[in-house]
Amino acid sequence: MSAADGHLPDPADLPDDLPDPRPGEASDGPPAAPRPAAPTISISPRWNVQGADGAALPARLIELLVQVHGLGSLLSACQALGLSYRHGWDLVRQGEAVLGATLLHMERGKGSTLSALGEKLVWADRRIQARLSPVLETLASELGAELARVAADPPPALRIQASHGFAIERLVEALTREGLAIERRYDSSTAAVAALRDGVCDVAGLHIPLGPLQAPALQHYRRWLAPVDGLRLIDVATRRQGLIVAPGNPRKVYELADLLRPGLRFINRQPGSGTRFLLEGLLREAGLEPTHIAHFEQAEYTHAAVAAFVASGMADVGFGLETPARQFGLDFVPLARERYFLVCSEAALGRPALQRVLAVLGSAAYAASVDALPGYAAAHSGRVQAFDAAWG
């Protein structure tokens, strides 16, 4: 039977010497080019709001409002997004019809300002991005690694599991630009060192406070690090942690004792995180009881999410890094300085991928990118020491 009559031939009727049509797998003839590497995966959160009648906000409206918030002009926002001014106005009108309320105020000569509802939509979007971005980056990296494993001769990925921070983000971005295959996972410092012990990652990233809290923090993490042979520490940066407050610090929060004041709304980091561990250590050092702090168990999973929570007016104060506080236009009260670093085995340090990591960490370009982050300093970035010798 032929394929011309609409049916495929029975494989049993085919001759044995037909060439294999798949590229790169034929037994004779010149080899075909290898299949391309797996594509890069990116995942972005998408959300929407429905009115009482079930109608949803038009696509790109929230994106447009975010741009208006940042640029102060509907025209500039439309230009930034590649939209016509008429299309932008149509999006705003459709959104106002769905919600039954004004989203944008226009004054001749004064640009555009968001209404209270428009502001809330923008801050909701920023909170979603801040909370979910590290989670989605981790998931995208895991899925990309799974796809790469079925590609032809995939290069082994450098597996990094680390506490999330802005210096490690800069490092991953730089290594990715250089074409190094990376499988990254953002998690707590405890989960990162446990993964290193269990052989789930090649490199773990964590942070240890400098000063009196250094010793108890080291004791806490040693239970996972002790079994790793020839443990090596690679410096990345130092950074500041402290109280994140509204612009001008209207609630007058200057020290940890102020968190015990009645009526103060606090946003914490989640249990198990290195930042939560640091805060609880600072409270013990000051003789303060965490249970006396209202909302102490209310927590977010990233530094940026804590800052966004304060910036949106849902909390008066949070505890976290200086970088997101400044990014959200907030004030910051420094309370502690930390050392952020990578740890790996001595054997892993000799791998070409780790040598590329050291080259990036020791570069002037990387140092400049980290020093530009508020509260960060790239002093000694790329320095390698035996772990036990690094705490003199």
Which of 121, 154, 187 is the endpoint of a domain? 154
pLDDT in tens, 103-146: 998 877 667 888 988 888 888 888 888 777 777 777 776 677 67
Task: Look at residues 382, 375, 335 and name the one whose alpha carbon lies nearest to residue 357.
Answer: 382
Global pTM value: 0.75
**CA 48/CA 106 separation, integer angstroms:** 24
Task: Look at residues 354, 304, 346 and name the one whose alpha carbon lies nearest to residue 328.
Answer: 304
Which of 154, 176, 203 is the endpoint of a domain? 154
Which of 100, 124, 154 is the endpoint of a domain? 154
Q: Which residues of the chain have pLDDT under 50?
A: 1-6, 11, 18, 20-27, 32-38
Q: Are 226 and 353 in contact (CB under 8 A)?
A: no
Q: Cβ neighbours of residue 138 under 8 Å, at least 6 residues apart?
A: 184, 185, 186, 187
Query: CA 242: distance to chain centroid?
Result: 19
> Residue 138 corresponds to which tokens in the numbers above?
């981790």
pLDDT in tens, 82-105: 999 999 999 999 988 988 899 998
CB-CB neighbours of 47 under 10 Å: 11
The pLDDT value given to residue 21:
47
The answer on 92 and 57 residing in a single domain is yes
Dihedral Cα 281, 287, 290, 293, nearest 10 deg: -130
The answer on 372 and 287 residing in a single domain is yes
The answer on 77 and 64 residing in a single domain is yes
CB-CB neighbours of 202 under 10 Å: 24
**CA 367/CA 295 separation, integer angstroms:** 38
Tokens 């020791």 sit on residue: 362
Tokens 């015990």 sit on residue: 260
What domain range includes position 53? 42-154
Q: Cβ neighbours of residue 210 under 8 Å, at least 6 residues apart?
A: 238, 336, 337, 338, 339
The one-character DSSP state at 252 is -
The answer on 176 and 150 residing in a single domain is no
The pLDDT value given to residue 154:
59
CATH of the domain at 360: 3.40.190.290
| In a domain? residue 181 | yes
Coil/strand/helix, residue 228: coil
CATH of the domain at 132: 1.10.10.10
